[in-house]
């Protein structure tokens, strides 16, 4: 009985002693922290992707709570809704940003952009880019070793083995921007996310002159400026031989798509416009590639290009001629002449 008593007593004393020590230690080393930081962190998606510019969601939460003006802070993953919720909780004004998605601005598939040499180093875009121009003649386009896919924490980017190009799954993409930073060629851009993942964009970043682009790739932007002229909203600018569609001004009218001679303007999630008097909806690369499409609806550009084959000089001249051809008459003429002259389109064009 006595043993039991002393045991209990000792344990009680020890317990109280420990509690007292713990209390004072806790007081001494207490870290004052705004409890709202925890709350805000819970509201954030918790992906810790770093897309906001902080090391993780905790960093953004702290900044959101501590800063008075949070308009410069934005969680790309959570998007506007999350920011609104956080701002409402904190009683501050949130930044307004439209939802975005990563867009691969290169259409140089294996087929359209032939390989001219073989890269035998570590399979990394950054390694290849720091060494030389790349496996193709294009100095600007996608290298295809998948650095973007490697850094994507959401599994939204995969390299398509047949095209050799990355593909973004817009439903998985959170626009964190990791791929944009990882791409040594700056091919990826965060663009406005339209409903149903619709998009119109120039799928090329080459600032080369038309001739050089044509030599390296059949799907590149040659900076001809036709799209710029046709755009009713002034959304397209051509700078340094490269067209760019401003996502803020573009209304998805699709006029430029039909105008593009190389199919560099890509259309996603929508049907191309019906055949216009000037040109047919052949510019979308898929339609152009489809052999089933009747000759009549193919654009003059496509036909001239096809006829001229892979010879870059012929290709270029053919292109020039097509650009110069104005009315319906000449287009028709071109088609007929091409058919007649077989492999010598230049003769007629001149």
Cβ atoms 118, 126 nearer than 8 A: no
CB of 150 to another protein, least distance (A): 9
Chain centroid to CA 65: how far?
Answer: 32
The residues that touch another protein, with contacts defined as CB under 8 A, are: 115-122, 124, 126-127, 130-135, 137, 139, 151
- In the complex with another protein, the residue whose CB is nearer, 48 or 197, is 48
CB of 105 to another protein, least distance (A): 20
- In the complex with another protein, the residue whose CB is nearer, 134 or 223, is 134
59's tokens: 């960093």
Cβ atoms 163, 104 nearer than 8 A: no
Which helix or strand (DSSP H or E) is residue 41 part of? helix 35-43
- In the complex with another protein, the residue whose CB is nearer, 316 or 322, is 316
- In the complex with another protein, the residue whose CB is nearer, 79 or 210, is 210
- In the complex with another protein, the residue whose CB is nearer, 215 or 218, is 215
CB of 162 to another protein, least distance (A): 20
> Distance between the two ends of the chain, CA-based, in angstroms?
118
Strands 188-192 and 100-104, by their bridges, are antiparallel
CB of 130 to another protein, least distance (A): 6
Cβ atoms 254, 200 nearer than 8 A: yes
Give the separation between CA 5 and CA 54, rounded to whole angstroms.
Answer: 58
Instruction: Single out the residue of 264, 261, 284 nearest to residue 274, CA to CA.
Output: 284
CB of 239 to another protein, least distance (A): 18
């Amino acid at each position: 009985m006595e043993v039991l008593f002393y045991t209990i007593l000792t344990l009680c004393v020890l317990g109280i002693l420990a509690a007292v020590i713990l209390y004072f230690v806790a007081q001494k080393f207490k870290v004052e922290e705004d409890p709202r930081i925890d709350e805000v962190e819970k509201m954030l998606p918790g992906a810790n992707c770093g897309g906001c510019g902080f090391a993780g969601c905790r960093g953004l939460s702290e900044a959101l709570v501590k800063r008075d003006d949070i308009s410069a802070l934005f969680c790309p993953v959570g998007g506007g809704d999350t920011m609104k919720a956080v701002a409402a909780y904190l009683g501050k004004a949130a930044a307004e940003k439209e939802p975005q998605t990563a867009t691969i601005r290169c259409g140089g598939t294996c087929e359209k952009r032939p390989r001219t040499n073989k890269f035998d180093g570590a399979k990394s875009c950054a390694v290849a880019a720091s060494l030389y121009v790349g496996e193709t003649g294009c100095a600007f386009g996608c290298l295809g070793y998948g650095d973007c896919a490697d850094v994507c924490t959401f599994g939204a980017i995969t390299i398509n083995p047949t095209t050799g190009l990355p593909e973004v799954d817009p439903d998985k993409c959170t626009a964190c921007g990791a791929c944009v930073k990882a791409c040594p060629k700056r091919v990826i851009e965060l663009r406005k996310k339209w409903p149903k993942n619709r998009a119109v964009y120039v799928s090329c970043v080459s600032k080369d002159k038309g001739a050089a682009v044509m030599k390296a790739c059949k799907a590149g932007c040659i900076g001809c400026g036709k799209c710029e002229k046709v755009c009713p909203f002034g959304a397209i600018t051509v700078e340094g031989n490269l067209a760019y569609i401003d996502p803020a001004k573009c209304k998805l009218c699709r006029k430029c798509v039909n105008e593009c001679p190389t199919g560099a303007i890509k259309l996603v999630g929508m049907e191309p416009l019906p055949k216009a008097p000037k040109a047919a909806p052949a510019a979308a690369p898929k339609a152009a590639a489809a052999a089933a499409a009747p000759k009549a609806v193919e654009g003059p550009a496509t036909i001239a290009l096809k006829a001229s084959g892979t010879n870059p000089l012929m290709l270029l001249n053919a292109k020039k001629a097509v650009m110069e051809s104005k009315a319906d008459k000449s287009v028709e003429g071109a088609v007929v002449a091409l058919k007649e002259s077989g492999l010598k389109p230049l003769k007629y064009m001149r």
